[in-house]
Amino acid sequence: MKQDLSHVLLSPRITEKATMHSADGVYVFDVATSANKKQIMSAVNATYSVKPRMVRIVNVRAKIVRNMRTGKSGVHQGGKKAYVYLKKGETISLN
C-alpha cells in the first residue's frame, strides 16, 4: 500500500542556525507531529530526489508569550522539526 507523503514535510525551516547547518549538508524541516523517521526519509527522497543518510527528530514545545504593551498572553504553537543529513556532495535547493 502506497503512503501519501505530501502531508509529512510542512516547510523548510529558514533560520540563521538552519542556514549554517546547510553548509555541512544538514537541512531542517518542520514536519507533521505524527511523522516518523522512515516517513520523513521517504518524503525527502520523493520531493527533492536525494537519499538522506540520517534523520534526527526534535519535538518543539509550545511557549507562552505576553504582549508587554497590552498585557495579553497567547501561545506560540509547538510542533516537530527534523534534521535531515545528506551524503557529502549532495545538496537541496530550498528556493
Range of the domain at 56: 9-85
Which phi and psi angles does 89 have, rounded to 5°? 95, -15
Residue 16 has pLDDT above 90, yes or no: yes
Q: Note whether 47 and 27 are within 8 A (CB).
A: no
Q: State the Cα–Cα distance between residues 86 and 9, nearest whole angstrom.
A: 16
Whether residue 92 is contained in a domain is answered as no
Residue 57 has pLDDT above 90, yes or no: yes
* Section 67-91 average pLDDT: 94
The domain spanning residue 25 has which CATH number?
A: 3.30.70.330
In this predicted structure, what is the pLDDT of residue 28?
97
Whether residue 2 is contained in a domain is answered as no
Whether residue 91 is contained in a domain is answered as no
Each residue of 30-43: pLDDT tens digit?
999 999 999 999 99
Q: State the Cα–Cα distance between residues 59 and 75, nearest whole angstrom.
A: 16
- Other residues' Cβ atoms within 10 Å of the Cβ of residue 3: 12
* Section 59-73 average pLDDT: 94
Whether residue 1 is contained in a domain is answered as no
Domains of the chain: total: 1
Q: Average per-residue pLDDT in the chain?
A: 93
In this predicted structure, what is the pLDDT of residue 2?
57
pTM of the predicted model as reported, rounded to 2 decimal places: 0.85
Which phi and psi angles does 69 have, rounded to 5°? -75, -45
Whether residue 4 is contained in a domain is answered as no
In this predicted structure, what is the pLDDT of residue 1?
42
